[in-house]
Amino acid sequence: MFQLRCTVRDCQQLLKPCEQGLVCCAGHHFDQAKQGYWNLLQPQDKKSKNPGDSLDAVLARHRWLQRGHALSLIETLRPWLAANRTETNLRTLDLGCGEGSFGPALFGDDADSYCGIDLSKRAIKLAARGWPAATWVLANADRELPAADQSVQRVISLFGRRPVSEIYRVLAPGGICVVAVPGEDDLIELREKVQQAGHRRSRWELIAEEMTDVGLEVVDRKHWNNNVKLEPDAIADALAMTYRAVRHSQKSRLDEVQAMDVTLAADLLLLRRN
């Protein structure tokens, strides 16, 4: 399994398997949940009783991905991740892994060296059920990542968390970081219909600046887009996984929409620690 680090405040020792779960040399112990994930979440890491995405949002995103809307995105990312496939035991941290669809799609042959991290217990349970051979961790990826310094070769953040200093810390020299964020025209037609004002905002420039400030080099950038026709159930899922609090008046504007042609778009960054 993936090598994890203790998340107890000021500990950060490596965790080792024992009969009852995982333990560090300081004696901090973690059990494996019956669903197969490891709960490394500390009290100071959560601001509510049930942090992370709601069950409705998690299931909506799962259905969305199961429809195949991200297949061409996965194929676009694959060459970046396959560039150093001749090496073995490449550890991968997937930050904000959600319900776990991207992990097996991109790293299906590397279960032992893959770790998905998410703050939502609902999401991590679904991920662990879907790919039990991998390592799944309930933790706050905005804080300290449960990996040792310079111990991973790949960090991915596909519409997830981006703790830039921690990403730099855990990446080994030569390691890569792959980031995907929504493009400015992502779901623009749906946003214009719901909000009656489709605001366009490019995010990748600021992210690239933040990453280079901590010592990561931008190696490549791509813009991915795909045009799809969404049926009403897919439109409802897009709203559920995208907007946390869509007002009733906004939802009502879609009541008579039977189908809609929508743009899916993302800005992709490949970065490397030298």
**Residue-wise pLDDT tens digits, 13-54:** 999 999 879 999 999 999 999 999 999 998 767 666 667 788
28 is in an annotated binding site: yes
Q: What is the mean pLDDT of residues 116-141?
A: 95
pLDDT, residue 193, reads 82
pLDDT in tens, 62-117: 999 999 999 999 999 999 998 655 566 799 999 999 999 999 999 999 999 999 99
> How remote is the C-alpha of 32 from its chain's centroid?
21
What's the pTM value of the predicted model, to 2 decimals?
0.91
Residue 218 scores a pLDDT above 80? yes
pLDDT, residue 198, reads 57
Q: What is the mean pLDDT of residues 212-231?
A: 96
Residue 239 scores a pLDDT above 90? no
69 is in an annotated binding site: no
Burial of 34 (0-12, 13-18, 19+ CB in 10 A): exposed
Which comes out higher in pLDDT, residue 235 or 269?
A: 269
pLDDT, residue 82, reads 85
Q: Residue 180: CB partners within 8 Å, gap ≥ 6?
A: 73, 77, 157, 158, 159, 224, 266, 267, 268, 269
Report CA Rg, the chain.
Answer: 19
pLDDT, residue 245, reads 45
Number of helices (H), then strands (E), in the chain: 9, 11
Q: What is the mean pLDDT of residues 158-186?
A: 95
Helix axes 55-66, 232-242, angle to 10 degrees: 130
Domain coordinates of the chain in residue numbers? 16-273
pLDDT, residue 192, reads 85
Other beta carbons within 10 Å of 78: 12
* Lowest model confidence (mean pLDDT) among 112-116, 157-161, 237-241: 237-241
Domain 16-273 is found in CATH 1.10.3720.10: no
Average predicted confidence (pLDDT) for the chain: 89
